[in-house]
C-alpha cells in the first residue's frame, strides 16, 4: 500500500517475454519491464520451450528488481504478488510462478495465480478508465482466438479458501477446483489454429522470419488484398467458433505451387490477401457476437490486436454500429506483466488467495 493505493507486483513468463510490472489500484501502470527473447529464438524460426525457460531463469530476478526500481517502490510496499499460472509453455510458466512464490514467501505477501488470457482481457482496463464489465472481448493471440463475454471483474462470488491470511502455506487452493465459477463465458473459440499461429506460419512460408505477425502486418501495407482470394471460413450457420487451419494450408499450398511452377510469389500481395481473409472473419463474427449479446463495448486483446489493419477495420465497424472500442496500445497487446498485475489486483480485491502449492498449467479453462 502506498498513498492509499493497492500495489500489485505482476510477473509474466508464459512464452518468450520475461516481464514484471507494478500497478497501483489495478489500472495505473507504475512500471512495465519486458525482456524479449526474440533474438534467442529467431535462429530456430520459433520459440524453443526449453531455451525459453532457461532464459526466463537468467532474466527474471533482474527484471523483477527493475520493475520495483522503476516504480520507485520497495517489496515491503507491495500488497500482493500476481503471476501467470497458465496457459503457456509449462516450463516457462514455472519460472515466473516459482519466482512469485519465493517473493511471496520471503516477504510474507499474498500470492495470486493469474490466467494468462484473463490477463490479456484485463489489459483493456489499463488505458480505458471508463471501461467496465459487461463487455465483449475478442482475444486474438498466438495460442487463442476467442470471443468472450466478460460479465465481471473476477472469480469474486465463489468460495475460494483464503489460504494466506498470514504467511502462505504450501498446498493451498487449487485453481481448478469446482468452487470456481468464472464470470466470463466463451461464446466462440477456434476449433484448430489461432489467428496468431496462421500469421506466424504465413510469415514462415514467405520467408519473413519470426515473429511473423508484425512482419506480415508491415508487408501487407504494400500489397493488394484482392490479389489472391483465400476462402473465408465461417463454419456452419450460427456458430461463433473460428477455424484458421484451412486458410493457413491454402496460403502454404498457393506459395508452393507458384514456386513449383518456377514463379517467386509476390510476398506483399499474399500477405495482404491472407490478412484480409483473417480480418474479414474476425470482424464479421465479432460484430455478430455484439449484436447477439447486446453489449455496447468491445475490447480487443492479445498479440494480434496490435495488428494495424485489424484495428482500423474494427474501429470503422464499431463506429458504424455505435460500439465503444477499447484496444490497448501495442505494448499491452503482446505479452506483458502489467495485464497480469491488473487481473491480479481484481482477484486480490475479491479475496482470492493462492497457496504455495499452486501449479503451473499448460492448458487452463477461462
145 in contact with Zn ion (CB under 5 A): no
196 in contact with ligand KG4 (CB under 6 A): yes
142 in contact with ligand KG4 (CB under 6 A): yes
- The 122-141 site mask, x for binding Zn ion (CB under 5 A), equals -------------------x
CA angle 29, 35, 36 (to 5 degrees): 120
- The 308-347 site mask, x for binding Zn ion (CB under 5 A), equals ---------------------------x------------
CB neighbours of residue 1 within 10 Å: 11
Contact 149, 134 (CB under 8 A): yes
What is the smallest separation between the CB atom of 220 and ligand KG4, expressed in angstroms? 9
193 in contact with Zn ion (CB under 5 A): no
Q: 327: which residues sit within 8 A by CB, 6+ positions away?
A: 124, 299, 300, 305, 311, 314, 333
Angle at which helix 308-321 crosses helix 267-293, to 10 degrees, equals: 30
225 in contact with ligand KG4 (CB under 6 A): no
17 in contact with Zn ion (CB under 5 A): no
Give the neighbor-by-neighbor strand order of the sheet with 145-150. Answer: 184-189, 145-150, 135-140, 297-301, 324-326
Q: Which of 122, 125, 153, 199 binds ligand KG4 (CB under 6 A)?
A: 199
β-partners of residue 93 are none
CA angle 159, 147, 184 (to 5 degrees): 10
303 in contact with ligand KG4 (CB under 6 A): yes
Q: Which does 297 bind (CB under 5 to 8 A by kind): ligand KG4, Zn ion, none?
A: none
CB-nearer residue toward ligand KG4: 172 or 344 = 344
CB-nearer residue toward Zn ion: 95 or 356 = 95
* 212: nearest Cα among 223, 200, 201, 221: 200
| Binding residues for Zn ion (CB under 5 A) | 141, 335
Amino acid at each position: 500500500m502506498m498513498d492509499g493505493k493497492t500495489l500489485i507486483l505482476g510477473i509474466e513468463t508464459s512464452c518468450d517475454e520475461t516481464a514484471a510490472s507494478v500497478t497501483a489500484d489495478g489500472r495505473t501502470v507504475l512500471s512495465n519491464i519486458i525482456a524479449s527473447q526474440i533474438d534467442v529464438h529467431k535462429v530456430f524460426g520459433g520459440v524453443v520451450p526449453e531455451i525459453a525457460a532457461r532464459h526466463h531463469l537468467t532474466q527474471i530476478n533482474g527484471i523483477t528488481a527493475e520493475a520495483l526500481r522503476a516504480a520507485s517502490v520497495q517489496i515491503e510496499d507491495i500488497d500482493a504478488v500476481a503471476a501467470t499460472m497458465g496457459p503457456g509453455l509449462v516450463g516457462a510458466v514455472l519460472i515466473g510462478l516459482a519466482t512469485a512464490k519465493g517473493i511471496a514467501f520471503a516477504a510474507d505477501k499474498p500470492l495470486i495465480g493469474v490466467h494468462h488470457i484473463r490477463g490479456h482481457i484485463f489489459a483493456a482496463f489499463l488505458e480505458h478508465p471508463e471501461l467496465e464489465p459487461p463487455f465483449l472481448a475478442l482475444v486474438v493471440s498466438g495460442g487463442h482466438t476467442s470471443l468472450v463475454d466478460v460479465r465481471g471483474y473476477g472469480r469474486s462470488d465463489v468460495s475460494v479458501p483464503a489460504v494466506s491470511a498470514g504467511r502462505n502455506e504450501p498446498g493451498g487452493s487449487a485453481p481448478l477446483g469446482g468452487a470456481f465459477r468464472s464470470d466470463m463465458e466463451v461464446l466462440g473459440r477456434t476449433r484448430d489454429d489461432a489467428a496468431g499461429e496462421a500469421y506466424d506460419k504465413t510469415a514462415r512460408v514467405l520467408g519473413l522470419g519470426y515473429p511473423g505477425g508484425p512482419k506480415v502486418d508491415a508487408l501487407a501495407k504494400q500489397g493488394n488484398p484482392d490479389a489472391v482470394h483465400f476462402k473465408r471460413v465461417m463454419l456452419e450457420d450460427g456458430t461463433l467458433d473460428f477455424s484458421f487451419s484451412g486458410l493457413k494450408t491454402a496460403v502454404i499450398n498457393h506459395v508452393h505451387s507458384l514456386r513449383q511452377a518456377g514463379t517467386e510469389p509476390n510476398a506483399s500481395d499474399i500477405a495482404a490477401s491472407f490478412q484480409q481473409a483473417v480480418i474479414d472473419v474476425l470482424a464479421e463474427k465479432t460484430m455478430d457476437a455484439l449484436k447477439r449479446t447486446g453489449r455496447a463495448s468491445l475490447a480487443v486483446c492479445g498479440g494480434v490486436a496490435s495488428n494495424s489493419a485489424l484495428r482500423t477495420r474494427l474501429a470503422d465497424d464499431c463506429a458504424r454500429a455505435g460500439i465503444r472500442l477499447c484496444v490497448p496500445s501495442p505494448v499491452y497487446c503482446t505479452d506483458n506483466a502489467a495485464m497480469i498485475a491488473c487481473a491480479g489486483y481484481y482477484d486480490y480485491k475479491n479475496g482470492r488467495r493462492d497457496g504455495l502449492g499452486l501449479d503451473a498449467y499448460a492448458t487452463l479453462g477461462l
